[in-house]
DNA sequence: GACCAGGCACATC
DNA sequence: GATGTGCATGGT
């Protein structure tokens, strides 16, 4: 599987669907917060939790950290795993204040590997969440692998079903120019394709409508 | 009522 | 390094 295929997939998807304008969110922090809350969770439920935080004017990292644990859990409840996510979101908010909204930032290197290691060290941030934050919140050129990407690549391009995150990420990063705009659009187009296939009843494995195939 | 959704940490082998 | 398990809500 090489350069050509990885490029061709992108061009076909872009011609079909056009730009996707990702990630949904009004600010870098809101994107970061959404990346944590959407872990193994439907985006619609995440939107409810974000709306709750906005209603009580507690979206920003400082307010998240100032909130009582129970209040934060209550706001996050619709997004599922709310006890777990209240801890994870607090960890990420602390990291954000220390590393992003801080003068120290100016002295820090701006390279991808530095920031990837930094955010991956936060408890509750794994590879997908890290790459989503780096790409969609910071605009750094890293490729996001999610369940949709895995399913599409397995079903339509024959990659092993349980291929590791790192191997699949390398497949894209080794065969594409490191361009944040390209990576942004590419991942968003995978999600769009998966949803279109489902909507048109051309189902991917584990699609809820798969039994009607 | 079952199954699923844009994962992750931790234990165990 | 691979595999299994708990975490929880809301839509279909």
Nucleotide of closest approach to A79 (CA, C1')? C9
A120 and A161 housed in the same domain: no
User: If 0-12 CB within 10 Å is exposed, 13-18 middle and 19+ buried, where does residue A76 land?
Assistant: buried
C-alpha–C-alpha distance, residues A199 and A180, integer Å: 29
Say which nucleotide is closest to residue A39, CA to C1' distance. B7
Nearest amino-acid residue to B2, taking CA and C1': A208
A127 and A35 inside one domain:
yes
To 10 degrees, what angle do helices A180-199 and A147-157 make? 70
Is A212 inside any structural domain? no
Q: Alpha-carbon distance A196 to A17, whole Å?
A: 10
Please give the Cα distance from A209 to A36 (Å, whole number).
Answer: 27
Residue A211 lies in a domain: no
Establish if A173 belongs to a structural domain: yes
Same domain, A81 and A176: no
Tell me the three state secondary structure of residue A199.
helix
A9 shares its domain with A88: no
- Residue A173: domain span: 3-21+143-199
Tens digit of each residue's pLDDT (9 = 90 or more) over A71-108: 999 999 999 999 999 999 999 999 999 999 876 666 67
Measured CA to CA in angstroms, residue A166 lies from A20, A146, A188 at distances of: 25, 12, 19
- Note the pLDDT tens digit of each residue in A111-127: 899 999 999 999 999 99
Check which CATH number belongs to the domain holding A100 and give it. Answer: 1.10.340.30
Nucleotides of strand B lying closer than 7 angstroms to a protein CB: 3-10
For residue A50, is pLDDT > 80?
A: yes
Single residue among A137, A163, A180 that ends a domain in this structure: A137
Q: Same domain for A8 and A43?
A: no
**pTM (2 d.p.):** 0.94
């Amino acid at each position: 599987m090489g350069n050509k295929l990885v490029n061709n997939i992108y061009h076909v998807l872009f011609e079909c669907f056009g730009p996707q304008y990702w990630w949904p969110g009004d600010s870098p922090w809101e994107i970061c917060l959404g990346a944590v809350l959407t872990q193994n969770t439907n985006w619609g439920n995440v939107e409810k939790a974000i709306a709750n935080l906005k209603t009580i004017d507690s979206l920003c990292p400082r307010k998240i950290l100032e909130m009582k644990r129970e209040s934060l859990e209550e706001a996050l409840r619709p997004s599922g795993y709310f006890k777990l996510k209240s801890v994870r979101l607090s960890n990420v908010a602390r990291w954000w204040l220390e590393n992003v909204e801080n003068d120290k930032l100016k002295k820090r290197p701006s390279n991808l590997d530095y920031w990837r290691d930094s955010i991956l060290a936060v408890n509750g941030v794994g590879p997908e969440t890290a790459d989503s934050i780096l790409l969609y919140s910071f605009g750094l050129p890293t490729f996001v692998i999610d369940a949709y990407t895995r399913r599409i690549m397995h079903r339509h391009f024959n990659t092993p079903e349980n291929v590791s995150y790192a191997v699949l990420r390398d497949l894209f990063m080794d065969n594409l120019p490191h361009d944040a705009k390209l990576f942004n659009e590419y991942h968003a187009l995978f999600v769009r394709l998966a949803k279109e296939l489902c909507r048109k009843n051309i189902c991917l494995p584990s699609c809820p409508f798969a039994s009607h195939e």
